Amino acid sequence: MFAEPLKCYVGSKGMVHNVLKTDFAENECEEGMKHCFDSYSNDLTEVTASCQTLNTDQKLLDVCKVGCQNHTQLEITVCCCDHDLCNLPDSEKPTDQPAISSAKPQDKSQHLQPPT
């Protein structure tokens, strides 16, 4: 049996041509990857989110030992987590729902028959 791939948010938020742009999406990480990352400025005007890859720098992986690391001189915090969709502050998580729901009725009695 194969484990489900880890899901992380990927994308960024920041100023582009003097306009604050936000673009985050759910993404399945590469097979065998165990960590999601996010970094954000102290005022949350700049945020990045990503999956671990085979090329992830060891210094970034070291953050996973502590969860989050604040770099006071840079005014940025870098975080690492290891469960689905854990890598964005709540205020930045997309609020739109998927177009197709996978929910299925539990009780067949919910399917009403038309009157005869």
What is the structure's pLDDT at 113? 42
pLDDT bin (cut points 50, 70, 90) of residue 2 is low
Residues in the chain: 116
For residue range 21-72, list pLDDT tens digits in order. 999 999 999 999 999 999 999 999 999 999 999 999 999 999 999 999 999 9
Please tell me the class of the 7-86 domain. mainly beta
What is the structure's pLDDT at 116? 46
Upper half-sphere CA count for residue 98 (Cβ side, 13 Å): 7
What does the domain layout of the chain look like in residue ranges? Answer: 7-86
What is the structure's pLDDT at 103? 39
pLDDT bin (cut points 50, 70, 90) of residue 96 is low
If we measure between CA atoms, which residue out of 100, 96, 78, 95 comes closest to residue 87? 78
Partnered with residue 11 across adjacent β-strands are 24, 49
